A = this chain, B = another copy of it.
Amino acid sequence: MKRGIIGIDIGGTNIKVALMLGRKITRRKKIPSLADSGIERSIAQIRRAIGPLRKKASAIGIGIAGIIDSRQGAVRFSPNLRGWNNVPLGKILRREYGLPVRVLNDVNAICLGEWKYGAARGHDNVFLFTLGTGVGGAAICEGKLLFGANGFAGEFGHTTISLNGPKCMCGQCGHLERYAGAKYIVARAKRKMKRSKSSLAEHSVLTPEIIARVAKRGDPVAREVFSEVGYYIGVGIANILALFDPDIVIISGGIARAGRILFDPIRETVNRSVLGAGYRRFKILPAKLGDDAGILGAALFAQLTQRNTQV
């Protein structure tokens, strides 16, 4: 029997696990990560998640938000897992299961998944970013996933686009995340609703997805929100194009599915502002694999490094 690879996506709320057989994801499972109950409890949950899949697998790949030392398989710091500082997760699980275990940053995992099987297939220079609570990022440079010296590369959300801009959660001013993070998109909509009538008022709770839906129905306030957010993201992408010169930029996360309401202002801003637009080929596209990208990418990471392929 051909063995599969276990892909795991560890978040602050849930641990998602699945077995990857070839390109197929099977035996999907989701259990609580119990991130607030301490490291031991969370690792016990990871074991539970792996449980019966162990005998069907030849390796384990794990994606986690935060600063991951992928060489050592260690979690240096994770915003979602309180107290996880310098946890040698790879070593712990390797010892227990006798299988190769690889650990990488969650957005790197998503990028790897979209690169091998999704929206970025066949491209050598890729930048992917995620729009959600935070704004994460990852890069493939000349056919290799970029980890950086400290496992920190791709932190798109915490780049400054406006010196005197509003303060970000991290304490700095004018970071992209301060404009494109979910709660700031919602706050922007709420500010505008105070000034103008909008059918957004019919919703007791607002999310970027709801604002996108209302915008698509033509509501001018919701449209304005996306036009402005798209502009900020466009400025950020123009910086990415200037620095990385990718042939494809992939936007992942819930609102990446908003379609033209988001992509039109982004593309317009990028085309107007990127240096040497006439000499460039590049595409800006939504991700394809949805929530599977992370699990798939984590499994792929374990598989590719097992074969000693450069990632």
CA distance A19 to B144 in the complex (A): 33
Q: A76-B279, A77-B279 are in contact. Are A243 and B163 (CB under 8 A)?
A: no
B243 touches A149 (CB 8 A): no
Residue A238 interfacial (CB < 8 Å): yes
Report the minimum CB–CB distance from A7 to chain B (whole Å): 23
What is the 8 Å Cβ interface bit string for chain A, positions 119-140, against chain B (1 contact, 0 not)? 0000111000000000001010
CA distance A67 to B276 in the complex (A): 9
Residues of B within 8 A of A152 (CB): 241-242, 245, 275-276, 279-280
Which of A125, A137, A163 has the most chain B CB atoms inside 10 A of its CB? A163
Residues of B within 8 A of A142 (CB): 141, 144, 146-147
CA distance A281 to B276 in the complex (A): 34
Residue A235 interfacial (CB < 8 Å): yes
B146 touches A124 (CB 8 A): no
CA distance A239 to B244 in the complex (A): 13
What is the 8 Å Cβ interface bit string for chain A, positions 158-193, against chain B (1 contact, 0 not)? 111111110000101010000000000000000000
A125 touches B149 (CB 8 A): yes
Number of copies: 2
Residue A156 interfacial (CB < 8 Å): yes
Residue of B nearest to A150 (CB): B280
B159 touches A239 (CB 8 A): yes
Cβ 8 A contact of A245, one of B148, B163, B235, B245 = B148
29 contacts between A and B (CB under 8 A): A77-B276, A77-B279, A123-B149, A137-B243, A141-B141, A141-B146, A148-B244, A148-B245, A148-B246, A149-B245, A150-B247, A150-B276, A152-B245, A152-B275, A152-B280, A155-B245, A155-B275, A158-B275, A159-B238, A159-B242, A160-B238, A160-B239, A161-B162, A161-B163, A162-B163, A162-B164, A172-B273, A172-B275, A243-B244
